Amino acid sequence: MPKFSANLGFLWPDRPLLARIDAAAAAGFKAIELHWPYDVPPADLRAAYKRHGLEILGINTPIDAAKGEFGLAAVPGRQQDFREGFSRAATYAHAIGARSIHVMAGDVPPERRAEGTEQFLDNLAWAAEQAPDLTLLLEPLNKHDRPGYFYSTSGEGAAITAAAGVPNLKLMFDAYHVGRTEGHVVERLEQHWGVIGHVQIAAVPSRTEPDDSEVDYRAFFTALDRLGYSGWVGCEYKPRGDTDEGLKWTSALGVRL
Ligand X SMILES: O=C(O)C(=O)[C@@H](O)CO
Catalytic residue among 55, 139, 187, 245: 139
Shortest spacing between CB 177 and Mg ion, in angstroms: 6
- Residue 209 annotated in active site: no
Residue 5 binding: pick among ligand X, Mg ion, none (C-beta 5-8 Å cut-off by kind): none
Catalytic residue among 118, 187, 236, 245: 236
Report yes or no: 254 and 22 within 8 Å, Cβ to Cβ. Answer: no
* DSSP characters over 102-135: E--B-B--GGGHHHHHHHHHHHHHHHHHH-TTSE
Residue 198 binding: pick among ligand X, Mg ion, none (C-beta 5-8 Å cut-off by kind): none
CA distance 119 to 128: 14
Residue 99 binding: pick among ligand X, Mg ion, none (C-beta 5-8 Å cut-off by kind): none
CA distance 16 to 36: 12
Nearer to ligand X, 209 or 236 (CB): 236
Neighbouring C-beta atoms of residue 118, cutoff 10 Å: 12
Residue 32 binding: pick among Mg ion, ligand X, none (C-beta 5-8 Å cut-off by kind): none
Nearer to ligand X, 35 or 143 (CB): 35
Neighbouring C-beta atoms of residue 49, cutoff 10 Å: 23
Residue 102 binding: pick among Mg ion, ligand X, none (C-beta 5-8 Å cut-off by kind): ligand X
Report yes or no: 31 and 6 within 8 Å, Cβ to Cβ. Answer: yes
- Counting other chains too, the contacts that 145-149 makes at CB distance below 8 Å and 24 or more residues apart are 145/177, 145/180, 146/70, 146/107, 148/107, 148/108, 148/109, 149/70, 149/105, 149/106, 149/107, 149/108
Nearer to ligand X, 188 or 251 (CB): 188
CA distance 98 to 232: 14
Shortest spacing between CB 86 and ligand X, in angstroms: 15
230: three-class secondary structure by DSSP? coil
Shortest spacing between CB 102 and Mg ion, in angstroms: 8
Shortest spacing between CB 144 and ligand X, in angstroms: 12
Number of residue whose CB is nearest Mg ion:
174
Nearer to Mg ion, 71 or 76 (CB): 71
Shortest spacing between CB 224 and ligand X, in angstroms: 17
Residues that bind ligand X (CB under 6 A): 35, 60, 102, 139, 141, 174, 177, 200, 236
- Residue 139 annotated in active site: yes
Residues that bind Mg ion (CB under 5 A): 174, 200, 236
Nearer to Mg ion, 76 or 140 (CB): 140
Q: At how many degrees (to 10) do helices 113-130 and 79-96 cross?
A: 30
Active-site residue set: 139, 236
